[in-house]
Amino acid sequence: MLPSNSKVLAQKVKKCLLTLAHHHNASHVGGALSIADVLSVLYSRILKYDTSHPKWEERDRLLYSKGHACTALYAVLKEVGFYTDAALQTFTQNGSLFTSHVNHKVAGVELSTGSLGHALSVACGMALAGKRKKTDWHVYTIVSDGELNEGSNWEAILFAPHHELNNMTLIVDFNKIQSFGTIKEVLDLDPLKDKFNSFGWDTIEIDGHNHSEIYEALRKDTIHGSKPRVVIAHTVKGKGVDFMENQLAWHYKSPNKEQLESAIGQINQQK
Amino acid sequence: MKLQEITVTGKKATRDGFGDGLAAVGQTNSKVVALCADLVGSLKMDAFIKAFPQRFVQVGIAEANMMGIAAGLATAGKIPYTGTFANFSTGRVYDQIRQSIAYSHKNVKICASHAGLTLGEDGATHQILEDIGLMKMLPGMTVINPCDYAQTKAATIAIAEHYGPVYLRFGRPSWPIFTTNLPFEIGKALPLTTGSDVTILATGHLVWNALEAAKRLGLEGISCEVINIHTIKPLDTATILDSVSKTRCVVTAEEHQRNGGLGDSVAQLLSRKMPTPMEYVAVNDSFGESGDPMELLDKYGLGVKDVVIAVQNVLKRKKSPVLV
Ligand SMILES: Cc1ncc(C[n+]2csc(CCOP(=O)(O)OP(=O)(O)O)c2C)c(N)n1
């Protein structure tokens, strides 16, 4: 059963990931908040999946390459019903499947990630297999912006158009901040759109927090031609919580009790 | 030295030793330059960067590129220190290291933090337990895994004067400091206690567990010779053979896979020169997981009690060498 309202889902996801980060002293909450809206639109209005059959052959594939920001993915998978809240609350404990980088042993997860720059190549392989088998599932991959420093991504970015993989969509969570500095300071990506265009991708730029823009950009029925598609989602690291927004520190910090309460209060206000 | 003479002078992470060592060697050796793949805070490189902004290169999250750039800098007489996590310092960039650094014996210092299980909550993707094996297999590579803050600092300084590629492995958690007043020399094992019943050869964080185990075993009247093998390659064969010829049995202890680790190097030595009953304290062909660092050490058989059990087992085999 798909949750029909992406806004409602996003609100739940943000609260769930903030709470997880607080209870388990987890990092990477800024990068989780920046992608929560995209994930919520995907899981409410775009992806084909069956929570009771996570490996259903006809499902769309979502590869989450920024595995450090696992709380957002774990939260959305829980909210749509892949597993219970009780299961998720074992997060990072000894023996738990919910490790603090995304784990393929969790229902609904396609690939373990955490070492950056791996998933896009795997997505190319999945999309290639999809083409050869003439299936109609679509492969979505989410990468973070700092992650695009990794050369492995650019090998995959060359590969996909060469093989006309129009059954895949790459989403860049362009929140402009990485671990210990801004993208501008560490390794500039600009002009990112031109780079993708020149590599042969269909390139769309959107506000990564505007649900109708996200939906329009990610729909499968608007794909024409043979190019793979990239959606550059302009986002805000720490989106929705004023003291986290655009703050480098919230790449690593986890909220204490007061900060959690304030954050949840702010998310509750957002419609 | 007796066990009682080991003095603990505090608690700090080995990665802090790297950061302080790097800043210190930056002062004394102007050829030292540092590179980082977007983890300066995790690697504690801030003091070096502050003192020598012109001698630091932020390469971004691009470890393969970093190894190539380091190789290039080395050709111009610089002594590059690369900094990132241990899995991204080795497995991810193995071919870059092999082709561009090791083959031509370039003077690059590969400095790797967050090695092993004690990385804790970050889990299996980051908990590399294969890096010692990967790096020691490369011809000409020196492999050092210091045991505490003081030794990591000393090693960070010493490798600048040692020409050739070096892999320096350290970790994340705060750990007892007990080598502050002890010497450090690359390739020279450091005996920590003298004993007569068993030799315990330990590296990295597990040196502390070996000392704690020796203390417990002492209460049972078992006398342990604990030797710190900070340099796994080249191995200090003379010190090991000397001790083993006396004790006639060995336990190795390391935060690494049994395959390819310190224990393997020791077994290779002993099987040729002095076949001896031996037990391993190491991870046995398994990935790690998220969890509390100390609990993970216990769960994966690297705790103090595991060293104790390994010693008890090897002593039985020393008495009756028939395997059961
Ligand atoms: C190969 C690799 N190198 C380094 C790291 C350590 N690391 C984890 S998150 C991160 C920064 C990521 O920044 P960005 O890609 O911009 O992600 P976001 O801002 O969306 O969290 C780094 C360097 C890693 N996980 N993998």
For residue A159, what is the domain's CATH number? 3.40.50.970
Whether a cis peptide bond, with omega within 30° of 0, leads into A191 is yes
A69 lines ligand 1 (CB under 6 A): yes
pLDDT band for position A4 (50/70/90)? low
Return the residue in A186, A250, A254 with the most chain B beta carbons within 10 A, the one to mutate for interface testing.
A186
In a domain? residue A88: yes
* SS3 label, residue B82: strand
The model's pLDDT over B188-243, given as tens digits with 9 standing for 90+, comes to 999 999 999 999 999 999 999 999 999 999 999 999 999 999 999 999 999 999 99
Identify the pLDDT of residue B322. Answer: 62
Question: Terminus-to-terminus CA distance in chain B, angstroms?
Answer: 35
Does B3 have pLDDT greater than 90? Answer: no
Whether B289 sits inside 8 A of A99 (CB atoms) is: yes
Closest CA of chain A from B293, distance in Å:
10
DSSP assignment of A90-149 equals TTTSTT-S--SS--TTSTT--S---SSS-HHHHHHHHHHHHHHHT----EEEEEETGGGG
Identify the pLDDT of residue B123. Answer: 85
Cβ neighbours around A222 below 10 Å, total: 11
In a domain? residue A142: yes
DSSP-derived letter for residue A249 is G
B38: contact with A, CB 8 A cutoff: yes
pLDDT band for position A76 (50/70/90)? very high
Does B91 have pLDDT greater than 80? Answer: yes
Whether B299 sits inside 8 A of A181 (CB atoms) is: no
Kindly report the average pLDDT of chain B as a whole number: 96
Question: Environment class of residue A39 by beta-carbon count within 10 Å: exposed (0-12), middle (13-18) or buried (19+)?
Answer: buried
Angle at B246 between CA B244 and CA B252, to 5 degrees: 30
Question: What is the chain B residue with the closest CA to A112?
Answer: B125
In a domain? residue A235: yes
The model's pLDDT over B266-285, given as tens digits with 9 standing for 90+, comes to 999 999 999 999 999 999 99
pTM for this predicted structure:
0.93
In a domain? residue A1: no
pLDDT band for position B321 (50/70/90)? low
Cβ neighbours around A75 below 10 Å, total: 27
Ligand 1 centroid distance, CA of A68 (Å) = 7
Where do we find the tokens 């505007």? A210
Does A94 have pLDDT greater than 90? Answer: no
Tokens standing for A34? 């920046």
Q: Which residues does B184 contact at the CB level (< 8 Å), separation at least 6?
A: B146, B151, B154, B155, B158, B190, B230
Partner residues linked to A182 by β-bridges: A177
pLDDT band for position A95 (50/70/90)? confident
Average pLDDT over residues B87-107: 96
In a domain? residue A261: yes
In a domain? residue A43: yes
CB contacts, 8 Å: B60 with chain A: 146, 149, 178, 186-187
Q: How far from A253 is each of A22, A117, A247, A266, B127, CA to CA, in Å?
A: 10, 23, 10, 18, 21
- Report the number of distinct structural domains present in chain A: 1
Question: Terminus-to-terminus CA distance in chain A, angstroms?
Answer: 23
Q: How far from A256 is each of A23, A261, B211, CA to CA, in Å?
A: 9, 9, 37
Does A3 have pLDDT greater than 80? Answer: no
Tokens standing for B13? 């992470």
Identify the pLDDT of residue A147. Answer: 97
**Short-list B71, B63, B29, B24, CA closest to B47:** B24
A178 lines ligand 1 (CB under 6 A): yes
Tokens standing for A80? 């749509």
Q: Quote the domain boundaries for residue A187.
A: 6-269
Q: Which residues does B288 contact at the CB level (< 8 Å), separation at least 6?
A: B117, B119, B123, B124, B127, B129, B296, B300
CB A120 within 8 A of CB A141: yes
The model's pLDDT over B244-260, given as tens digits with 9 standing for 90+, comes to 999 999 999 999 999 99
Which residues, numbered 206 to 235 in chain A, qualify as contacts with chain B under a Cβ-Cβ cut-off of 8 Å?
Answer: none
State CA B299 to chain mean position distance. 21
Q: Which domains does chain B have, with CATH numbers?
A: 11-177 (3.40.50.970), 190-319 (3.40.50.920)
